[in-house]
Amino acid sequence: MLNKIYSITLPSFLRRTMKAYALKGCIREQGCELHRIGRSRNWQLKANFEQIQAIIAFIDLSAEPSWQWLIKLLKSKYLHLSHDELVKIASMLEEVTVSALIARSDCTIAQARRVIDELEGLD
7-58 residue pLDDT tens: 889 898 888 889 888 899 989 998 999 999 888 899 999 988 888 888 888 8
Q: How far apart are CA 28 and CA 30, in angstroms?
A: 5
Within 13 Å of residue 98, how many CA atoms lie on the same side as its CB?
8
DSSP 49-90: HHHHHHHHHHHHHS--GGGHHHHHHHHHHT----HHHHHHHH
Q: Is residue 123's pLDDT more than 80?
A: no
**Over the stretch 61-102, which tens digit does the pLDDT of each residue have?**
887 888 888 888 887 776 667 778 788 878 777 788 888 887
pLDDT value at residue 46: 92
Within 13 Å of residue 84, how many CA atoms lie on the same side as its CB?
3
pLDDT value at residue 2: 56
Q: How far apart are CA 72 and CA 67, in angstroms?
A: 10
